[in-house]
Amino acid sequence: MFESSTSRCTRLRLLPNPVWSHVVVRLAAALLFAGLIAAQACHADAPTLPPPPSQLYGDLFVAVQTQQIFDDQKTFVDAVPNSAPATIVQQYERQKNLPDFDLKAFVLANFTLPSEPVITPPSGQTLREHIDWLWPKLTRTTTTAPAYSSLIPLPQPYVVPGGRFREGYYWDTYFTMQGLQESWHEDLVDDMLDDFAYEIDQFGHIPNGNRTYYLSRSQPPFFALMVALAARNEGSGVYRKYLPQLRKEYAYWMSGASTTPPGQATRNVVVMADGTVLNRYWDERDTPRDESYLEDVKTAQQATERNPSEVYRDLRAAAESGWDFSSRWFGDDHTLATIRTTSIVPVDLNSLLFTLEATIAKGCELSRDYACSAQYVGKAQRRADGINRYLWNRNGYYGDYDWRLGKSRDKVSAAAVYPLFVGIAWPERAARTIKTVDTQLLKPHGLATTTIETGQQWDAPNGWAPLHWLTIEGVCRYGHPEFARTVGVRFLADVKQVYASDQKLVEKYVVEGPNAGGGGGGEYPLQDGFGWTNGVTLKLLDRYARGE
């Protein structure tokens, strides 16, 4: 039923503010969110959802997050109110100035906090057995949600990453699906495709995750690759089934493309000076993220020469990228306060949008809409040309481009492999990129995400399962299976080492230095579970360690 891993590896395939500014911040957020809800209302049968917690609770929200009532800023925004938010807010306003008022006690009395169930695996499980055992523990069915919850209900079951990540996430799911197929859970693959199609139909895009505070942005657009993954087992009818949603998602990413003048940008679209249309990461809102409110306010305070709203937008755009946070987005390569995500044309996003265009072309062809197919073949070809024009770095790798400064970003990252993964790298450039990845990113325990240590989680010395899988598939596509094996075996050994010592799989790993193992850095402690690591690990076991 499954295509052999050997053929997959060796065959070349082209895939189709300062705290005093809270009043201004909240007012702007309210206006922006009202616009977002209005846009959603244009979609037929759009569900009625509450505003995000920052809007529901106003000053109470600010107080809880700025006073750090909980160690994790995500705790409060995932909590469920025990009564109507307006009632709770009125009680807070009456009580907050009383001499004996205790904010934490007030919150605990008025909200039900999210739970993080302790998962205790049976002893003696092999790594493969443990992952197969984990899938049901990470599967959620939430066809309804409590009143005023930030959770967005979905019609079908879905797999969450684990830990603090209690909801489904967009790009994580592609790598989770890889493992679900290895574990013969094609039903869950189909369920999650249906959930994403539902979100596209309701909201016009797939949100970062199924929470109201994520609705203003998406994540790396892997939906087309998920469709192709399911079609590999289920046949070409999958392309026809999801063609309407593929086209709707494309419309979301390309909004403004036809009206944006050269040298300018609109939302996710950047039109280069020569008229080439490429894309960037973007978020509809320019306020602190609900789930990282205090962190964002502090970052904006450090950016003393910038408008806080610009900083917030760039932080949010980086969250859309999935690489939150990384030196990829920093003006000085080291400091979060210099973040400039919206000024950068990313190589990964544009490679994925090439695949979306090529997949729409395929779906149209299968539907015998040949005019549509020809149109999207042309779009895909123009994007491939644009990537090779703007996102090839003269130093020998694919990388990002700063469209405001009009120059390449000269720091290599694991995102360099995306044009190889989707099959649009020129062969000689693919070879040079592989050499650069080999000499600069390959470490004793796998691939470092970047060459720079900043304390951010998407920088050295951390390595991430999805980037290893993309690298392995990409370099195999261009005829380098032995390098792919080296990458896979080294990272798999790191995963095995952590499992042997801690009996768990984690979100990220340290791949260099004396302390290889679970990764660090970022806004929250290391999380275990973990959806995409589970999926990639099963693929690596199948390819490089059969029988384990």
Annotated binding-site residue? 171 = yes
Task: Please return the burial class of 423, using the count of CB atoms within 10 Å of its CB with bins 0-12, 13-18 and 19+.
Answer: buried
Instruction: Note if 324 is an active site residue.
Output: yes
Q: Which secondary structure element, helix H or strand E, spans residue 349, and what is its range?
A: helix 347-366
Separation of alpha carbons 174 and 531, rounded Å: 10
CA distance 475 to 421: 7
Residue 186 in marked binding region: no
Cis bond upstream, residue 33 (ω within 30): no
- The four Cα atoms 313, 315, 317, 322 give a dihedral, to 10 degrees, of -170
CB neighbour list of residue 87: distance below 8 Å, 6 or more residues apart: none
CB-CB contact of 317 with 282 (8 Å): yes
Rounded distance between C-alpha atoms, residue 364 and residue 492, angstroms: 39
- What percent helix, strand, coil does the chain show, rounded to 5? 55, 10, 40
Q: Which of 324, 357, 365, 473 is catalytic?
A: 324
| CA–CA separation, 70 and 76 (whole Å) | 7
Look at strands 269-271 and 264-266 and give their pairing.
antiparallel
**Residue 245 DSSP class:** H
Active-site residue flag, 507: yes
Burial tier of 298 (Cβ tally within 10 Å: 0-12, 13-18, 19+): middle
CA 142 to chain centre: 21
Beta-ladder partners of 401: 345, 408
| 322 annotated as ligand-binding | yes
Per the CB < 8 A criterion, the answer to whether 146 and 153 are in contact is no
Contact 352, 422 (CB under 8 A): yes
164 is in an annotated binding site: yes
CA distance 533 to 463: 11
210 is in an annotated binding site: no
How far is residue 342's CA from residue 306's CA, in Å, rounded to a whole number? 14
Name the nearest CA neighbour of 508 among 98, 161, 157: 161
The one catalytic residue among 400, 494, 507, 528: 507
Hey, what are 297's tokens? 């306010």
* Binding-site entries: 164, 171-172, 208, 217-219, 322, 523
| Residues designated as active site | 324, 507
Binding residue numbers for substrate: 164, 171-172, 208, 217-219, 322, 523
